Amino acid sequence: MMNKIQIVAGIGEILRKEDDFLITSHFAPDGDNIGSCAGMYHALTSIGKKAVIVNEDGFVERFRYLFGKADLPFVKYSEKLKKKFGNVIILDTATFERIGKVKELIKKDACIINIDHHPANTNFGTVNLVDEQAASAAQIVFSLLEKNNFPMDKKISNALLSGLLSDTGGLRFANTDKRALKDSLRMLKYGSDIAELNDRIFMRLSYDETVKVNRIVSETQLFRKEKIAITYNDQQNDPLIENEPVLMALSSIEEAEIAVFIRKTDKDRYKLSLRSKGGFDVNKFSSKWGGGGHRNASGIRFEGTYEKLLKDLIGDLKRTALEYYA
């Protein structure tokens, strides 16, 4: 067994020795996912390496500032992508399955570097750097780059600080610990502006999206005894660009400790995002239903009718919450 210092040095060696990297992360990319991938991309290209970021889903435009005016190195997966990669970096992803179709781009004998902070990480990589104490995957990437003496700059720190801010809700969530604050400070040293990044990540929504978010939030149902707030959107016919603003609004409901956002993605297919305050473990609940994440933020995919979803899954959540808050 290698210890953590050896793993960090070993990954540094691979990054310097090899070339032509595929960087990827879980489908439905969020800020930590995109920030970690962008930080790794900038670090590799700054030492002359070739790299590309591929995700099963499309880019989230609000993070465009991480790439400046250059061509976007973030590619949405398509069957037309024929190239297979031997050097793969998977960031912020608990299981190999969660990269989805990007699997198709990986050679059988590829070297897979797995860097993550999800407690349910299965150590699926050739090399695994998993630290569930980290509030964000971006912080693990950051310390890996610093420890391996990569030339750090504002581009890299902006990407990684964006990841950290995304997963901590702008340094407000329960996972905001001393380490998150210390890492933020170190990132500011490279020129990042925390107010500017928080503004870009949390404070910008188009008029159309704002109206839509508010319509969805206005349909929220509150279960007082269970402390659950639930709302729904038909993502198939009336898609939201991002889910986070809805979840933020639900999470801020004083009477609710648990927020659930249900999206219909196809016939009899649903995606659920769960958020909790304090001790209620939505990761534990989601795992029971084939999903996962963190204690206070997780997701589930559900197949079946909406009635079945409400009766079985939401029924189970209500019972679990009632027991917990009893």
Give the C-alpha separation, 229 to 247, whole Å: 10
Q: Which is nearer to Mn ion, 167 or 226 (by Cβ)?
A: 167
* 244 lies in the binding site for Mn ion (CB under 5 A): no
Q: Which is nearer to Mn ion, 117 or 200 (by Cβ)?
A: 117
Minimum CB–partner distance for residue 137 and Mn ion (Å): 5
Q: Which is nearer to Mn ion, 30 or 226 (by Cβ)?
A: 30
Q: Which is nearer to Mn ion, 86 or 100 (by Cβ)?
A: 100
Q: By three-state DSSP, how is residue 11 classified?
A: helix
Minimum CB–partner distance for residue 294 and Mn ion (Å): 8
Taking a C-beta distance cutoff of 8 angstroms, is the pair 263, 246 a contact?
A: no
Among 32, 56, 183, 244, binds Mn ion (CB under 5 A): 32
Binding to Mn ion (CB under 5 A) within 257-276 occurs at none
DSSP 168: T
DSSP 98: G
- How far is C-alpha 168 from the geometric centre of its chain's CA atoms? 11
Minimum CB–partner distance for residue 140 and Mn ion (Å): 10
Taking a C-beta distance cutoff of 8 angstroms, is the pair 283, 293 a contact?
A: yes
Minimum CB–partner distance for residue 35 and Mn ion (Å): 9
Binding mask 283-312 for Mn ion (x = CB under 5 A): ------------------------------
Query: How many Cβ atoms are within 10 Å of 2's Cβ, its own excluded?
Result: 11
- Give the residues across from 115 on adjacent strands: 91, 129
**Burial state string for 202-229 with b = 16 or more CB within 10 A and e = fewer than 16:** beebeeeeeebbeebbeebeebeebbbb
Taking a C-beta distance cutoff of 8 angstroms, is the pair 114, 127 a contact?
A: yes
Minimum CB–partner distance for residue 28 and Mn ion (Å): 12
How are the residues of the chain apportioned to helix, strand and coil, as percentages rounded to the nearest 5? 45, 20, 35
Binding to Mn ion (CB under 5 A) within 56-95 occurs at 92
Minimum CB–partner distance for residue 171 and Mn ion (Å): 15
Q: Which is nearer to Mn ion, 117 or 155 (by Cβ)?
A: 117
Taking a C-beta distance cutoff of 8 angstroms, is the pair 90, 25 a contact?
A: yes
Q: One-letter amino acid identity for 307?
A: E
Minimum CB–partner distance for residue 92 and Mn ion (Å): 4
Q: Which is nearer to Mn ion, 166 or 220 (by Cβ)?
A: 166
Minimum CB–partner distance for residue 93 and Mn ion (Å): 9
Q: Give the closest residue to 312 by CA, choosing from 288, 291, 295.
A: 288
Binding to Mn ion (CB under 5 A) within 111-140 occurs at 137
Query: How many Cβ atoms are within 10 Å of 60's Cβ, its own excluded?
Result: 19
DSSP 268: T
Q: Which is nearer to Mn ion, 25 or 220 (by Cβ)?
A: 25
Q: How many residues belong to the site for Mn ion (CB under 5 A)?
A: 4
Minimum CB–partner distance for residue 219 and Mn ion (Å): 29
Binding to Mn ion (CB under 5 A) within 144-203 occurs at 167
Q: Which is nearer to Mn ion, 137 or 317 (by Cβ)?
A: 137
Q: Which is nearer to Mn ion, 81 or 174 (by Cβ)?
A: 174
Query: How many Cβ atoms are within 10 Å of 5's Cβ, its own excluded?
Result: 9
Q: In terms of residues, how long is the chain?
A: 326
- In the complex, residue closest to Mn ion by CB: 32
Point out which residues bind Mn ion (CB under 5 A).
Answer: 32, 92, 137, 167
